[in-house]
Structure 1
Amino acid sequence: MSARDLFVSAARDSLRSGRKRLSLSQSLDLAAQVSAVDLGLKPALLYDSNGASAEQLQRYLGSLRSLRLVSDSLLALDLNGNGLIVNAGALRPTRHGVPAVVDVSASLEKPVVSGAQRGRLKGLAADLSLLLEEFQRLGEADGPLCVGERAEDWNLCTVFGLLLGYPVSYWFDQAQSFENCLSMTPLVVVAASASWRADGFAHSFCLYSFSVPAALQEETRRELEDWRVRLQERFELQGVMEDLRISRSTVTLPSICL
């Protein structure tokens, strides 16, 4: 079987939801995303293709490892019921640098960059990196790393921004409300796409997609530029992905769900 077919077979066998298996398109997109994480082009992937559990993600990774399609750097993470595939090595630099954090609490008239929340995120990033390192050191590869009680007070929107490698992450005061102040706020959506090559077959996919309030572009310019430069540098060091494209568009929506 070709590498492409092996990726598809592993996804369909390991990630069933009831009797339903992933489609060919879903399986190929997942293969491209997992390969990107394995290459360090992004730290993690949030799995949302179907209702597969983190345990199923771990079995999927085990199949890929046995077929020598991915490295041992990848692990499955269960974060408060959300399944992720994480490259622990790609996350380690977060000890020294984390995304800019934008406070979008509903009580605010408009979004603002929050230095205080960025400081708290640095501590959380360090704790998470230590958890990943300890998990790998103990060799607990038979199951996913489950972060349960420790994550109860985390703002998952902010943590996902960290894990997914975004240069800007949103935070809101969930003790007051899970709503936000982004309604009718112009947002600049940054998207990065690429083509995954396997056995001569090219599959185009979205590598990144995140937003930043248009009014805060200047305040977050350094983070956005650093993200772009690092991504291009990492992209040039590998030969699996091709045709990196980064685009920007502006949207204004009546409501935003985070």
Structure 2
Amino acid sequence: MTSREIIVAAAKKYLSTRKKSLSLTKILDLFAQVLAVGLGLKPALLYDANNASTEQVQLYLSSLQSSQLVSKSLFTLDLNGNTLIVNQGIALSHLNEILSSGNMGVVDVSHLLEMPVLHDLSRVQFVNMVQKLKLTIERFQQHGDCKPLYAGEQCEDWNLCMIFGLLLGYPVTYWFDQNKSYENCLSMTTLMVTKAAATWEMDAARPVRLPRTHLRLVPQLLRVPSSLD
């Protein structure tokens, strides 16, 4: 079987659900994202292609790893029912860099605000959250087997919106007071879309280039000028 055939077969076998099966385009797009995580282009990805369970995503990932198509350093992490595919080494390096530099923009998008504002999250609160996330990822070293890693009750008091931003490698992450509401003020906020595209050649014998465009939406008020005059 060619690499393309293995990729498609793995997705159809392990990620199909009663409600929604993945199209060929989504299967190839998902693999491109997993490959990007495996190559260290980003620390993790949030699986949202359909409602496949964390266990299904782990079986899919294990199949790709056994075929030597993606790195063995990848594992699945379940955060309160949300499934992520994480590159352990890259994720830990990213979190260590954040802890050492403290260079992480946090934007308050709480629903009572008229527009997003930079959030003055306390250093102690921020460091505590990042360190707990680090310890969770480090558990993968002792985890060993090909099963998902569940954060469990320890993540119940985490601000998942912010945690996702940290794990996905965003330069800016959102925060809101989830003790008051899970709604946000972004619906009426002008957003700036940043795009970056890449291609990957799947088989040397049968070149297939997969376009992959990464989008990041950031409130326009945070836009950095393209030139400084």
1:106-255 aligned at under 5 Å gives the runs 106-116=111-121, 120-139=125-144, 141-199=145-203, 200-206=207-213, 208-218=214-224
Structure 1 residue 150: deviation in Å? 1.3
Other-structure match for 2:97: 96
Counterpart contact for 2:143–2:149, Cα < 8 Å = no
Structure 1 residue 6: deviation in Å? 1.1
2: CA distance, partners of 1:102 / 1:20: 34
Amino acid at match of 2:142: R
Q: Cα deviation per residue 1:180-235 (whole Å; 9 max; x = unaligned)?
A: 223432221222221122011011123x32222222235xx8xx9xxxxxxxxxxx
How many residues end up aligned between the 2 structures? Answer: 218
Which stretch of structure 1 is more off in the superposition, 197-206 or 114-123? 114-123
Amino acid at match of 1:102: V
Other-structure match for 1:60: 60
Structure 1 residue 144: deviation in Å? 0.3
2: CA distance, partners of 1:19 / 1:188: 33
Report % sequence identity. 51
Counterpart contact for 1:101–1:118, Cα < 8 Å = no
Distance 1:19 1:109, change over 3 A: closer
Task: Give the secondary structure class of the aligned counterpart of 1:192.
Answer: strand
Q: Cα deviation per residue 1:109-146 (whole Å; 9 max; x = unaligned)?
A: 3322123157633332222122212222341x231011
> Any gaps of 5 or more consecutive residues in structure 2?
none
More strand per residue: 1
1:22-37 aligned at under 5 Å gives the runs 22-37=22-37
Counterpart contact for 2:58–2:147, Cα < 8 Å = yes
Amino acid at match of 1:203: L
Task: Give the secondary structure class of the aligned counterpart of 1:142.
Answer: coil
2: CA distance, partners of 1:163 / 1:17: 26
* TM-score normalized by the length of structure 2: 0.87
Distance 1:87 1:11, change over 3 A: same
2: CA distance, partners of 1:19 / 1:181: 31
Other-structure match for 1:3: 3
Amino acid at match of 1:215: L
Structure 1 residue 46: deviation in Å? 0.9
Structure 1 residue 45: deviation in Å? 1.2
Task: Give the secondary structure class of the aligned counterpart of 1:197.
Answer: coil
Counterpart contact for 1:99–1:118, Cα < 8 Å = no
Distance 1:187 1:16, change over 3 A: same
Query: CA RMSD for the aligned pairs?
Result: 2.1
2: CA distance, partners of 1:90 / 1:117: 26
Counterpart contact for 1:101–1:117, Cα < 8 Å = no
Distance 1:119 1:6, change over 3 A: farther
Distance 1:149 1:203, change over 3 A: same
2: CA distance, partners of 1:78 / 1:138: 14
Counterpart contact for 1:16–1:52, Cα < 8 Å = yes
Counterpart contact for 1:37–1:43, Cα < 8 Å = yes
> Are residues 1:75 and 2:80 paired?
no
Counterpart contact for 2:39–2:71, Cα < 8 Å = no
Other-structure match for 1:243: none
Amino acid at match of 1:106: H
